[in-house]
Amino acid sequence: MLWSGWGDPAKAVTLPEPVVRLLRDALGVREPAHGPAAFEEVRLPVPALPQPVLAELEAVTGAKRVRTDDDARIRHTRGKSTPDLLLMRAGDASDAPDAVVLPGSHEQVLDVLRVCAAHRVAVVPFGGGTSVVGGLVASRTGFAGVVALDVRLLNRLVAVDAESMTAELQPGLRAPQAERLLAAHGLTLGHFPQSYEYATLGGFAAARSSGQASAGYGRFDDMVMGLTVATPSGTLSLGRAPKSAAGPDLRQLVLGSEGAFGVITSLRLRVRPVPGARAYEGWRFGSFAAGMAALRRLVQDDGPSPTVLRLSDETETMIGLARPDEIGAAGGSGCLVVAGYEGTEGHVARAREHAAAVLAEAGGEHLGPEPGEGWAKGRFGAPYLRDALLSHGATVETLETAGFWSDLPRLYEAVRGALTAALSDRTTPLVMCHVSHVYPTGASLYFTVATAQSGDPVAQWETAKRAANEAILRAGGTISHHHGVGRDHREAYAEEIGELGVEILRAVKRRLDPAGILNPGVLIP
């Protein structure tokens, strides 16, 4: 993973000429005077951890698995939000952990937590490092230091239960690794978020990820049947049945806890057969409202559901953002729907036929497979595109929310309005939106924003983000549908669940993590 950006540096993209023109002419984007800092120029704080603490950690994991070198520290600094990347590109690694610890077992995780609690060292559970909400930046105040607890060595497929269609997997598996291991058994998770190439299973669970195929495979939290969690107060083992009436569902308290309660060390996940058939296609609607109504009908009736459903608004359709590989070339008028169908041949045929009937009746125009296949080809490409845009002098970032269907038009207008107003200093920003996760009772809204970088793009985005958060809360949406809370949504989250909700989290945190070492400053205000 590129330390200052996204993904495999070999896959870096060059912006096509029409996009460069658009940035320059419509947004007033100018290439910055300075390129990003070189790796050697990055400024790191002096490591704070006393030698005896390091020695105790080494006694747990072995000396090689406690790393204090610059490379390890830089690569565990923050996540992959645009502000994160802007800081790294400016050579600022002031949030770097003092050490990176790589435990190899559940017991070692317990022991690392024990050592850190004893010495009041903050612990940042670290999976793929792909948080876009500041979930990997612990507060240092009052702590002897900060350790990144990287779970990458917990990377095994422990067991497959083909009868129950579950698999026990370790949290440090990156999604493609997990898919390869499962594919050997003819199985898949079907979880394909934009962070797919780098994110880990533990992170998916801890931050309630939702993938591009959520309409068919469900959200990641839906897939979690069982969990083992290492906490400073001991081990939690949850999940003896798919569903239970034995009290509150404590799995749902761990899911979304973002490392603030413990470290997930094992997951029992629902799996499915690798689909025998796949088909993607495009549809066009006259307006975002018409497209939303069509998606709603499709997900509320009792016919078979598509596996992928994505509706771009007018601006996103015009720009062609659904196909990052061909951006600027593949756009169009109206609002593009990408629909995908995966499963058995029979299911794909039935679901496609049913969707065609509903979408056509709702006023959709069938565009054939090409836009769908274009989307599928470029589905993990957007983060690469962001790096190129940042280099060209654009501020580009995403944010998302969800709400009930009847709230969505208001929510859409409120967030779009807030972002536009906050970023219209010189030129009008490009604010694009799509719906990509649908439920019978509501859906998500995912916004992508591009504007010309100001002199201080971190502060520029902070202002816009604050305005968007306020708009989301006022319009009744949730502060995050699938990115999580981290530090960036912490205050808005507190408003969403109310003071008593926050107090519940604090009470749980005090019991599981009495020293408060786990991801301090993340999730819980």
Residues 46-105 binding a copy of itself (CB under 8 A) are: none
Torsion of CA 240, 243, 245, 248, to 10 degrees: 80
Contact stretch for a copy of itself (CB under 8 A) within 23-31, 47-55, 319-327, 500-508: 500-508
> Within a 13 Å sphere around the CA of 476, how many CA atoms are in the beta-carbon half?
10
| Integer angstrom CA distances of residue 143 from 83, 221, 280 | 25, 32, 51
- Looking at beta carbons only, is 21 or 510 nearer to a copy of itself? 510
Q: Nearer to a copy of itself by C-beta: 33 or 246?
A: 246
* By CB under 8 A, residue 500 contacts a copy of itself: yes
CB nearer to a copy of itself: pick between 171 and 477: 477
CB 180 within 8 A of CB 403: no
State which of positions 200-229 bind a copy of itself (CB under 8 A): 207-210, 219, 221, 225
Q: How far is the CB of 342 from a copy of itself (least distance, A)?
A: 9
Which of 297, 313, 405, 312 has the alpha carbon at shortest distance from 357?
297
Shorter beta-carbon distance to a copy of itself: residue 21 or 506: 506
Output the smallest distance, CB 143 to a copy of itself, in A. Answer: 22
Site for a copy of itself in 460-489 (CB under 8 A): 476-485, 489
Q: Which is nearer to a copy of itself, 166 or 265 (CB)?
A: 166
Find the binding residues for a copy of itself in span 119-178 (CB under 8 A): 161, 163-166
Report how far residue 259's alpha carbon sits from residue 389's, in angstroms, rounded to the nearest whole number.
Answer: 32
Query: What secondary structure does DSSP assign to 391-420, as a single string?
Result: HHTEEEEEEEEEEEGGGHHHHHHHHHHHHH
Nearest to a copy of itself of 66, 225 (CB atom): 225
Per residue, what are the HEC states of 248-304?
CCCHHHHCCCCCCCCEEEEEEEECEECCCEEEEEEEEECCHHHHHHHHHHHHHCCCC
Q: Least distance to a copy of itself from the beta carbon of 406, Å?
A: 4
Q: Segment 311-340, which members bind a copy of itself (CB under 8 A)? A: none
DSSP line for 74-99: HHTSS-SSHHHHHHHHTTB-TT--SE
Interface stretch with a copy of itself, choices 1-9, 17-25, 54-62, 297-305 (CB under 8 A): 297-305
Q: Which of 83, 172, 202, 343 binds a copy of itself (CB under 8 A)?
A: 343
Residues 392-421 interacting with a copy of itself (rule: CB under 8 A) = 401-407
Q: Are 144 and 49 in contact (CB under 8 A)?
A: yes
Interface with a copy of itself (CB under 8 A), residue from 55, 63, 183, 507: 507
Burial of residue 459 (CB within 10 Å: 0-12, 13-18, 19+) is exposed
> Interaction with a copy of itself in 437-456: which residues (CB under 8 A)?
437, 439-444
Residues between 236 and 295 with contacts to a copy of itself, criterion CB under 8 A:
236-238, 240-250, 252-258, 270
Looking at beta carbons only, is 64 or 240 nearer to a copy of itself?
240
Among 89, 68, 57, 40, residue whose Cα is nearest residue 393: 89
Q: What are phi and psi of 368, to 5 degrees?
A: 80, -175
The size of the interface with a copy of itself (CB under 8 A), counted in residues, is: 91
